[in-house]
Amino acid sequence: MTLLKTIIFTFVVPGTVAVYVPLWVLSSRSAAPPARLGPFRYLGLLPVLLGASVYLWCAWDFTFAGRGTPAPIDPPKELVARGLYRYVRNPMYVGVASAILGEALLFGSLALLEYAAAVILCFHLFVVLYEEPALGRRFGESYRRYRAAVPRWIPRVRRARFEE
């Protein structure tokens, strides 16, 4: 059942943020014509695929290691500090932002680049104002140690030494 809830959440929330809204932006009549990037634009496929892979890996860890979903209304019961969470505290957000930035490059769209900036700002505010305080209340000292060991946004090359 948890896996089904994760799949539904993925289609609704990250699907909207990283697929449906960018499609709407690209089809908007007010959108500027795409930049002429030539074959260089296909480099945008790399962050799109990498971002989607990061999100899916993290959603898997939330579902099976954390016994919950990425949805704030049904969060993991266990602190997830494995996999990509050993390198950065918010890899799902980093993955989704990477996918949107890749789409901006792939389609040569300044409007998508502006949208990506707005999404990144919203992610940051959500994490700082809601998610980190909620996780601190939920997981206490364990989360405090995790926060001290693992950076919020910029992944470390070496994984953090965090003991739960």
Closest CA to 162 of 97, 88, 107: 88
Alpha-carbon span 62 to 41, nearest angstrom: 33
pLDDT by residue (tens digit) across 78-134? 999 999 999 999 999 999 999 999 999 999 999 999 999 999 999 999 999 999 999
Task: Provide the token pair at 101.
Answer: 């930035």
Q: Are 89 and 150 in contact, with CB atoms under 8 Å apart?
A: yes
> What is the pLDDT, as a whole number, of residue 28?
82
Percent pLDDT > 90 in the chain is 77
Other CB atoms within 10 Å distance of the CB of residue 11: 12
Q: Domains along the chain?
A: 2-149 (1.20.120.1630)
Non-local (6+) Cβ contacts of 98 within 8 A are: 47, 48, 50, 51, 54
pLDDT by residue (tens digit) across 12-52? 999 999 999 999 999 886 666 676 778 888 999 999 999 99
